[in-house]
Amino acid sequence: MHDDFTWGVATSAYQIEGGRFEDGKAPSIWDTFSDIGDLPESGDVACDHYHRYLDDIALMADLGIDAYRMSIAWTRVVDAAGNPNLAGLAFYDRIIDALLAAGIVPWVTLYHWDLPQSIEDEGGWPNRSVVEAFDVYAAIASKHFGARVKNWITINEPWVVSMLGYKDGVFAPGRTSFADALAAAHHQLLAHGRAVGTIRANVPDARVGIALDCRPCRPATPNPDDEAASRYFDGYRNRWFFDPVAGLGYPADMLSAFEARGHLTSTTPEWLKSGDLETISARLDFLGVNYYTSVAVRHGHDEDEATDVPSGPYPPSGYTEMGWQITPDALHEYLVHLHKVYQPNSIVITENGASFGDGPDLTGRVADIRRQDYLEQHTGAVRRAIADGVPVDGYFLWSFMDNLEWTSGYAQRFGVVHVDHDTLVRTPKDSFYWYQEAIGRARTS
């Protein structure tokens, strides 16, 4: 790893902040979803980072990271009329100032799933007017924080927002139309492209990227039906996002497949306007990649993630408690693939990590050996990709601390810091010390 390689940890606003009613925060779609849905827990208090951020930043300093990837809650900093909310901006001022004072570089994500409810009420991501609203937000945030924040991520995991939120209805806002999900995907990518220009206009030395989630896949068997299913899954899950961002437009095979399945009325969708693809493929300073697992795809399962395929192409070395296969080789292979096909000038792993439920033993120690193994294997995969010539320039571990894992509540624990969700006491896990040492070793090697 080169000297400028960035080692960091990542979180997102709704998953850690709490402070739902503080300082004029407006409701987001996740506030609504937790109010009306059948969720185990809400983010109303979460890790109470809203009030405990100084303690959390002190732990981050102890961890020895270069950078902290956080998200801003749109609903804290912009009011329903599109004007800045000064009290909300001041909360992030305090965090950013504390990070900088601790020698930690802030990387700010603008959108990590918490759409203002007022915008959802006007149609949400499927309605093109969201692009303008996002640009107003990006302008407010980049003008306000740009002197101190140079690293910007526009949107996190647009596949999840579109498909789980608007097609499957299992995430906020809980809608179930494939056609709307495709429009939601397009408008997120368009909002991303517009925001790249807006951020650069306000922060001339900004480094801007997007965080795309990926699920590398292979056919479960050489059977042509499995091969076709895998090709479709790859298009639906990965290429639909990576291709347009890289300037290749929407994949032609998927436009036809979506039309054939009735998700689009034509291969020239009505939401695709002249100039959109140019906006979406704005030059990036880095491509953010979130990687957790890979899948083997079977015929009949080309839109789901069947994890029970016994002998997939990437034999898993185990499973995390999300039920996800542990397949570090797929990360290595996918990084090589991204480099070859899309040639980004820089790749940053914007998320990677694992859910394991280990808690403190009688001495207070959290011996989360499985997470250490996972991290060791995946940072090893990143090293191998770099040795193969892939320009990976950073790695953000998901997550700094146990937090609200969306509809799974607090039961799934991704943190290197354990959080007791009754007392909110933080306890660094063994993986925290493993990461601290790994960063130290990388700096001196």
Closer to ligand IFM by Cβ: residue 255 or 419: 419
Q: Token pair for residue 170?
A: 């299992």
- 162 makes contact with ligand IFM (CB under 6 A): no
Question: Nearest approach, Cβ of 104 to ligand IFM (angstroms)?
Answer: 20
Could you tell me which of 292, 413, 416 has the C-alpha nearest to residue 355? Answer: 413
Residue type, 91: F
* # chain residues binding ligand IFM, by CB under 6 A: 8
Q: Which of 31, 157, 302, 402 binds ligand IFM (CB under 6 A)?
A: 157
Examine residue 368 and tell whether it contacts ligand IFM (CB under 6 A): no
Q: Which of 17, 120, 333, 351 is catalytic?
A: 351
CA dist 149 and 418 (Å) reads 28
What part of residues 343-362 is at the interface with ligand IFM (CB under 6 A)? 351
Please give the single-letter amino acid code of residue 71: S
Residues 269-298 that bind ligand IFM (CB under 6 A): 290
Residue written as tokens 């930690």?
104
* Neighbour-count burial for 222-237, b at 16+ CB within 10 Å, e otherwise: eeeebbebbbbbbbbb
Structural tokens at position 430: 């063994």
Cβ closest to ligand IFM, residue 130 vs residue 397: 397
Identify whether 157 is a catalytic site residue: yes
d(Cα 5, Cα 392) in Å, to the nearest integer? 8
Residue 281 vs 325, nearer CB to ligand IFM: 325
Asked if residue 398 binds ligand IFM (CB under 6 A), the reply is yes
Per-residue binding letters, 125-144, with ligand IFM (x by CB under 6 A): --------------------
Residue 333 known to be catalytic: no
Q: What 3-state DSSP class applies to 262?
A: coil
Question: DSSP 3-state assignment of 401?
Answer: strand
DSSP code per residue over 97-136 = HHHHHTT-EEEEEEESS--BHHHHTTT-TTSTHHHHHHHH
CB of 169 to ligand IFM, least distance (A): 18
**Residue of 31, 243, 333, 405 interacting with ligand IFM (CB under 6 A):** 405
342: helix, strand or coil:
helix
Residues designated as active site: 157, 351
Q: Which residues bind ligand IFM (CB under 6 A)?
A: 12, 15, 157, 290, 351, 398, 405, 414
